[in-house]
Chain A
Amino acid sequence: MAEPIIEAHHLTKIYNQGEVKVEALRDVSLQMWPGEFAVIVGPSGSGKSTLLNILGGMDVPTSGEVTYRGRSLQQMDEAQLTDYRRNEIGFVFQLYNLLSALTARENVELATELVAEPLGIGEVMDRVGLQQRMEHFPSQMSGGEQQRVAIARALAKNPGLLLCDEPTGALDYETGIKILGLLRELNRDYGTTVAIITHNLAVADMGDRVFRMRSGRITQVQENPEPVAAEEIVW
Chain B
Amino acid sequence: MVMQTLNRRLLRTVRNSWLQFTALVVIIALGLLSLVLLTNVYQNMHVSKVEYYRQQSFAEVFASFTYQPSGYIDRLDNLPEIRRSEGRIVSDIRVDVGRDTHPTLRLVSISDENRLNRPLTQQGALPRGRSREVALLTRFAEANDIEVGDSVELIIRGEPFSVEVSALVDSPEFVYAIEDIKNPYPDDTNFGVAYMDLNLLQDLLGVPGQVNEATFLTAPGVSWDEARDAVQERMEGRGLRSVITRDDQLSHFMISIEMDFLQQFSFAIPLVFLAIAAAIIYMLISRLVKSDRVVIGVLKATGYDNRQVLMHYLKYALFLGFAGAALGMAAGHAFVGPTTELYMEFFELPLMQMRYDWTFIVVGVVLTLIFCGGTGVWAARDVLKISPADAMRPPAPPPGQRNLLEVSFPRLWERMSFSWKLVWRHLLRNKKRFALAVLGVAFTFTVVFFPFYALGVIDIMFIQQFEEFEVYDYAVSFEQPVGGEGISHVGELVQAELIEPFAEYPFNVSRGWREHNVVVRALSTDSTLQRFEDARGGIIEVPASGLLISQYLAEELGVGPGDRLTLSSHVTDGEEHTVEVQAVINQYLGSGIYMSRGQMNRLTGQHDHTGVLIQSNDDVKAALQNAANVASIYSTGDLIDVFDEFMGLVIVAYSTLILIGGVLGFAILFNTTSVSIEERAREFSSMRVLGYSQGEVYQALVRENILATAAGVILGIPLSRASVHLLVSMMQTEMFYLPPVINPGSYAIAGILVGIFTAVVMLAVRVRVHNLNLLEALSSRLT
Q: Which residues of A contact B (CB under 8 A)?
A: 49, 53, 56, 58-59, 78-79, 82-83, 85-87, 89, 91, 93-95, 97-103, 106, 109-111, 113-115, 137-140, 143, 146, 153-154, 157, 165-166, 169-170
Contact = CB atoms under 8 A, between A and B. Distances in A.
- B-side interface size class: 20 to 34
Contact of A103 (B398, B400, B774): B400
22 contacts: A53-B778, A56-B689, A58-B774, A86-B690, A86-B693, A93-B686, A94-B780, A98-B686, A99-B686, A100-B397, A101-B426, A101-B683, A106-B421, A106-B425, A114-B690, A137-B399, A137-B400, A138-B397, A139-B398, A140-B400, A157-B690, A166-B780
Given A91-B689, A101-B400, A114-B690, 14 more contacts: A82-B688, A82-B691, A85-B688, A91-B778, A95-B394, A97-B683, A100-B397, A111-B691, A113-B419, A137-B399, A138-B400, A143-B394, A154-B690, A157-B691
Point out which of A101, A106, A153, A157 has the most chain B C-beta atoms below 10 A from its C-beta: A101
B418 A109 contact: yes
Contacts of A56: 689
B778 A111 contact: no
Interface in B732-783: 774-775, 777-778, 780
B771 to A, nearest CB: 13
Given A100-B400, A102-B400, A49 B778 contact: yes
Given A58-B775, A97-B683, A102-B422, A139 B400 contact: yes
B230 to A, nearest CB: 78
A85 B686 contact: no
Nearest to B684: A99
B429 interface: yes
Nearest to B687: A110
A145 to B, nearest CB: 12
A101 B425 contact: yes
A181 B688 CA distance: 28
Contacts of A98: 397, 686
A94 B429 CA distance: 26
Contacts of B690: 85-86, 91, 110-111, 114, 153-154, 157
Contacts of B397: 98, 100, 137-139, 146
Interface in B377-435: 394, 396-401, 418-419, 421-422, 425-426, 429
A157 B691 CA distance: 10
Contacts of A89: 691
A197 to B, nearest CB: 11
A94 B419 CA distance: 26
Nearest to A169: B780
B293 interface: no
Nearest to B394: A170
Contact of A85 (B418, B426, B689, B780): B689
Contact of A97 (B396, B429, B692, B777): B777
Contacts of A114: 690-692
A140 B690 CA distance: 23
Contacts of A49: 778
B418 A106 contact: yes
Nearest to A95: B780
Contacts of B426: 101
Nearest to B417: A113
Contacts of A143: 394
Contacts of B687: 99, 110
A165 B775 CA distance: 12
A95 B422 CA distance: 21
Contacts of A110: 418, 422, 687, 690
Contacts of B682: 97
Interface in B455-492: none
Contact of A139 (B396, B692, B693): B396
Point out which of B400, B682, B687, B775 has the most chain A C-beta atoms below 10 A from its C-beta: B400
Nearest to A58: B774
A59 B779 CA distance: 12
A58 B690 CA distance: 10
Contacts of B694: 78, 82
Contacts of B399: 100, 137, 139-140
Interface in B31-76: none
A85 B419 CA distance: 19
A108 to B, nearest CB: 11
Point out which of B396, B422, B426, B689 has the most chain A C-beta atoms below 10 A from its C-beta: B689
A114 B695 CA distance: 13
Contacts of B686: 93, 97-99
Contact of B778 (A86, A138, A165): A165
* Minimum-distance CB pairs A-B, first 10: A86-B691, A137-B400, A100-B397, A138-B397, A97-B686, A85-B691, A101-B425, A139-B399, A82-B693, A139-B397
B691 A53 contact: no
B98 to A, nearest CB: 75
Contacts of A53: 775, 778
Contacts of B688: 82, 85
Nearest to B406: A103
A143 B395 CA distance: 11
A82 B695 CA distance: 11
A99 B398 CA distance: 10
Given A58-B775, A97-B683, A170-B394, A113 B418 contact: yes
Nearest to B419: A113
